[in-house]
Structure 1
Amino acid sequence: MDKLKMHSKNLIEANIDKLAELFPTCITEVLDTKGELKKAIDFDLLRQELSSSIVEGPQERYQLNWPGKREALLTANAPIAKTLRPCREESVNFDNTQNLFVEGDNLEVLKLLQETYLNQVKMIYIDPPYNTGNDFIYNDEFVEDSEAYFEQSNQKDDGGNRLVANSESNGRFHSDWMSMIYPRLKLARNLLRDDGIIFISIGDDEQANLKRICDEVFGDENFLGCACRVSKKANNQGDYWSPNFDYVLTYARNLASCPVFFGGVNYGAYDQVDSEGPRAGEKYQLVRLYMTSLDPMRGCVNQRYYIEAPDGTLLLPPGNIFPALKEDAASIPPETGEDKVWRWGKDRYLSDKDRVVVKRVRSSNLVDDKGGEVKWNVFTKTYLNDVINNSTAKPNSLIEDHINQNSSHELGELGIPFSFAKPSSLIKYLCEISKVRQGDIVVDFFAGSGTTAQSIFDLNDSLGFNARFILVQLAEELTEEDKNHKAGLAFCKKNGFPGVITEITKERIRRAGNKIKNAEERNIDIGFRVLKVDTSNMKEVYYKPDDVDQDLLSDQVNNIRGDRTTEDLLFQVLLDWGVDLALPISQQVIADKTVFFVDGNALVACFDTGIDEDFVKQLAGYKPLRVVFRDAGFATDSVKINVEQVFKLLSPATEIKTL
């Protein structure tokens, strides 16, 4: 049986595999530092394959460079030996929710999510530090090579000092910020679907550098535009201009697959919901079917016909009643003298008759003591989804209706103290124009106060579906010395929370979810699973050539860290196998063993000891797609040897691994 690798994807190896597909003759083998053979690229042969397209040495070229870029690229590609541990007590509706909140360094989280959510994300929104000289950036640790980075990643998990002030006196002020954002964007690109889109809020200080980085990471051909957002009301601050704008840089994963943006709609007008039929649950509004008459020579002749009312009378716009002498949809002769026609032609009416609503309304132009004359009128159902999917109107690149002051109001309503948050209406608007739909994943790896989560809740509430979110935020400590932290620190103390930003984020998401009325009845997902970055669940052994007394075996009989639960092990398996971390999980006791079932039989896991053949046969009877056991969990070596044969006989499609 194969063992799970228990570390994040090695992107260098993935890149070598891609080159191997294109240039198999350029692949060779070399000895690594441990004396083991590994696949490598023969650059001399590759150079020959690309001889007419190589740029090297002093030859001029268009490029973006800065001190630290090489190390930043290494940081993006190197694997880490870490995992995500579930935290049920801080989650909401852990077993059924599709939403994730991940607490940890976003660079590490992006690495851990590479296999599970590769090409799965519809939209990314981030609001990174603007690098104004007064904010903080991630203090990434660079090492000489990927192996050293990998080993270092499993030796500690300390998020307390991951942020550092980047003052303008720093000699690498712009370079440090670029080295911080570059690897995160490279990893984020891998998560986007082919029709995926990334929106990045940024200010004047780094807008130009961010644009060039994004051109390199996403390709300048995938640049969709830079919108200007009115961030605050006009004031008299600033040395020359009074600053009240920031920017939203927008890139597609693949321009050829990117849908045209949706220009917006008055959601409040769609105030009715179909209760039955093929479009049950969809929102719609009623629109009158008649319109002013057009010249018959322009094609309106086919728009003159009778429509039958519920009482059997036949109607012609605008609600006149004619003798019931003709069948429904029969053409009306010109001599009737009517100067109105239906908005739909006869063929459209007959094909879409299920969308026609005939009801009595009061006429506003004939008022009696009851408020008007009751007449029949004809309407059509205009569905919100049709408008969103088919509209050709484009949104304006000047975003005026989502200023930061709105965020202060909504956070105040929730009782959440947080400085410099974006308004949830902004991210909801970006979801709308990029056509986020049912089941689509929206990622924000600079989550801050959790604005994106509230945006998704509000989006789902408005449109009646369940888009999903994955939020990532570092557990940054709140201090009395930082004036922007004081209110948050007091909030945490009052509520009995640890004094870190993520506690405010999680509480904001809980309260935002509770604002959604009748969420359970309407099947709107207002929950979230909390996962936390930690060192690997597996004990790691590092060979030290200079230590002649090193004992590599005595502590490996049980290779699981002592403080880890079986659910911790399960989530590392999900990561390693690339299984969605939000799938439903259930437990069963089979032959006195605890068994996890992920999404039915998509993955079955048992980490108990004493596994025998009878138990293995029972498990094989469920015919799981994947099954995993603890490597040291088998009762005997013969059981371990026979497991594959048992599954080959009873469930041949099952893939088996151990940890």
Structure 2
Amino acid sequence: MPTLNWIGKDKVLNHHLEVPFHVLERQYSFDEAGKHEEDNGSENMIIHGDNLLALKSLLPKYEGKIKCIYIDPPYNTGNENWVYNDNVNDPHIQRWLHQVVGKEGEDLSRHDKWLCMMYPRLKLLQRLLADDGVIFISIDDNEQANLKLICDEIFGAGNFVTNLIWEKKFSRANDAKYFSEQHDHILIYAKQKNLFFLNKLPVEEEQTSRYKNPDNDPRGAWQSIAYNCNKNADERPNLYYPVINPNTGKEIWPDRTRVWSYTKDRHEENVANNLVYWGADGRGKPRFKKFLDTQSGLVPMTIWKTDFAGDNQFSRKEYRAIFGTDAFDFSTPKPTKLIQRILQIATNKDSIILDSFAGSGTTAHAVLNMNKADGGNRKFICIEMMDYADTITAERVKRVINGYGEGKKAVDGTGGNFSYYELGEPLLVDDKINNAVSTEKIREYIYYMETKQALPEASADEPMLLGVYHGAAYYFNYEKDASTTLNAAFLKSIKTQAEAYVIYADTCVLSENKLQQFHITFKKIPRDIARL
């Protein structure tokens, strides 16, 4: 398989493993009662912080659980002034750190930097996807080819689904130097393509309006479709035969280049079942009657026009309707209609949706709209590194929940809730547990690293017990300001019966024979805490 090489690739191939694990700190929650400090238990999250660190912080709870990811990363046109500042600890890459990436004439390595920025993030996104999950990535022609190659490498070329073309502009830009750019790409990859199931799009009014019932057929409304196919008489000689119009008695042959779609026996069944339409006057060529109640849905196409998925003009109007004309300028927010189309085909009513380049919060808005429309319980996780994460991203979601606009332009609220998080402290500092991190966060991390499962509720009888998984009981004997010991007294305090035990403590005074007798694996704090 062809692979892509660039400056710095060897330094970022495993960079996602070197990134320190940070905890997430909830700042406030929001629901129809407004903003408050109390935790409302919302599974919707808006996270402010570097998205590489934030993605890693999601792993203990969400690895393998995200059904749908949508991201709209920097397109690297040379105009965005995005910052590449990942702390890749290598002298050869240090010259890139904290540098604004500008026009190609000013910075010849901007494509290398873009790839270095994207690669570790895509590696973490791939881990977060569920086995039947799918990722949608918006991009333009500046990096589409490069993105396709690194996605082939990370997700597997066999998991490529398609390249959607979205018509982002309807009107021609007549002042364009070469071509008026009308489209963006949306690359789609599944985690495991054989498990990925694509929903069909609902049959909408435009399609249903074509169905009529001029002959009062008791089976309901129908439309006529072509009776022939794209095969020729040499390819399908059994489909090249004459049919008789029952109203005229005339013999009708198909064209040799487009024979009938049905065998002679099947045609006779169609006639017997009143499935053949002979035209308004009954004297025409045969057409097949297709009934509305047999239309289960529409297979999505790979070109999404503005009337189907919205465009940039629509998204700007939508954004200004929420914030007003003097709002912070987002030149190219995505329309909610585009994201809702993605949610229609790629999620169910209980899916978790992740957007790690959240921008103005369109993805959260689209999720709330969908839940209101069909009574679903989809959850969103949105990550935004810029300082407007609270004042724009979260603020938009608040207004969508409560409703916005005035008078005839008022939009009813969707209802819903979310919690707002900041990226917190690293869990380990210089290979030691960071005392600034809460014990509960440490427990979540330890249990995940052992089992790849979310931490169960704490046991009132055994506060040191993390949980039981696959026959093993896990204990974290830890106190922030004291040294803990695995000794006979601790063994006596254990109440959970298990086939084996994994026990963390600062020290152990039990003999090897004793550990083997009770099937205990001792792990020393912090030496044996695995690095995520």
8 Å CA contact 1:199, 1:249 repeated in 2: yes
Of residues 447, 450, 454, the one that matches 1:577 is: 447
Of residues 329, 332, 339, the one that matches 1:427 is: 339
CA shift, 1:657, in A, is 5.6
8 Å CA contact 2:126, 2:155 repeated in 1: yes
Q: What SS does structure 1 have at the residue aligned with 2:458?
A: strand
The Cα offsets for residues 575-606 of structure 1, whole Å up to 9 and x where unpaired, read as 44339xxx9xxxxxxxxxxxxxx99xx2217x
Q: 1:80 to 1:260 in 2, by over 3 A?
A: same
CA shift, 1:200, in A, is 0.7
Q: Percent identity?
A: 28
For 1:229-628, what aligned pairs fall within 5 Å after superposition?
229-232=166-169, 233-266=171-204, 290=220, 298=269, 390-391=296-297, 393-401=299-307, 402-415=310-323, 417-419=328-330, 420-434=332-346, 436-474=347-385, 476-477=386-387, 500-515=388-403, 526-536=416-426, 540-541=429-430, 561=435, 568-578=438-448, 602-604=456-458, 616=461
Q: 1:79 to 1:236 in 2, by over 3 A?
A: same
In 2, the alpha carbon distance for the partners of 1:515 and 1:651 equals 53
Matched, 1:642 2:482: no
In 2, the alpha carbon distance for the partners of 1:217 and 1:536 equals 27
* Corresponding residue for residue 158 of structure 2: 221
In 2, the alpha carbon distance for the partners of 1:259 and 1:471 equals 24
Range with bigger deviation, 67-76 or 261-270:
261-270
Q: 1:290 to 1:409 in 2, by over 3 A?
A: same
8 Å CA contact 1:616, 1:643 repeated in 2: no
Q: 1:196 to 1:240 in 2, by over 3 A?
A: same
Amino acid at match of 1:74: N
8 Å CA contact 1:428, 1:455 repeated in 2: yes
8 Å CA contact 1:262, 1:395 repeated in 2: no
The Cα offsets for residues 525-554 of structure 1, whole Å up to 9 and x where unpaired, read as 72112222222256x356xxxxxxxxxxxx
In 2, the alpha carbon distance for the partners of 1:267 and 1:644 equals 68
* Corresponding residue for residue 84 of structure 2: 138
8 Å CA contact 2:162, 2:302 repeated in 1: no
The Cα offsets for residues 254-291 of structure 1, whole Å up to 9 and x where unpaired, read as 22122235234338999xxxxxxxxxxxxxxxx98546
CA shift, 1:649, in A, is 5.1
In 2, the alpha carbon distance for the partners of 1:652 and 1:257 equals 34
In 1, the alpha carbon distance for the partners of 2:119 and 2:441 equals 28
8 Å CA contact 2:44, 2:380 repeated in 1: yes
CA shift, 1:422, in A, is 0.7
For 1:152-171, what aligned pairs fall within 5 Å after superposition?
164-168=100-104, 169-171=106-108
Amino acid at match of 1:573: R
* Corresponding residue for residue 173 of structure 1: 110
The Cα offsets for residues 80-114 of structure 1, whole Å up to 9 and x where unpaired, read as 14222222367868433121122211111222223
In 2, the alpha carbon distance for the partners of 1:235 and 1:79 equals 43
CA shift, 1:144, in A, is 3.5
The Cα offsets for residues 116-139 of structure 1, whole Å up to 9 and x where unpaired, read as 322211111000001011111432
In 1, the alpha carbon distance for the partners of 2:415 and 2:98 equals 32
Of residues 98, 110, 119, the one that matches 2:55 is: 110
TM-score scaled by length of structure 2: 0.66
* Corresponding residue for residue 410 of structure 2: none
* Corresponding residue for residue 86 of structure 1: 26
Of residues 60, 70, 74, the one that matches 2:14 is: 74
CA shift, 1:70, in A, is 0.7
Q: What SS does structure 1 have at the residue aligned with 2:494?
A: helix
The Cα offsets for residues 166-224 of structure 1, whole Å up to 9 and x where unpaired, read as 33121212111111111111221111122211111111211111111112222222222
Total equivalences in the alignment: 411
Q: 1:456 to 1:617 in 2, by over 3 A?
A: closer
Q: What SS does structure 1 have at the residue aligned with 2:359?
A: coil
In 2, the alpha carbon distance for the partners of 1:216 and 1:574 equals 31
In 1, the alpha carbon distance for the partners of 2:29 and 2:22 equals 22
Q: What SS does structure 2 have at the residue aligned with 1:255?
A: coil
Q: 1:95 to 1:288 in 2, by over 3 A?
A: farther
Amino acid at match of 1:248: I
Gaps of 5+ in 2: 209-216, 225-245, 247-266, 275-289, 405-413, 506-524, 526-532
8 Å CA contact 2:78, 2:102 repeated in 1: yes
TM-score scaled by length of structure 1: 0.54
CA shift, 1:414, in A, is 1.6
Amino acid at match of 2:440: L
8 Å CA contact 2:46, 2:418 repeated in 1: yes
In 1, the alpha carbon distance for the partners of 2:10 and 2:66 equals 27
* Corresponding residue for residue 228 of structure 2: none
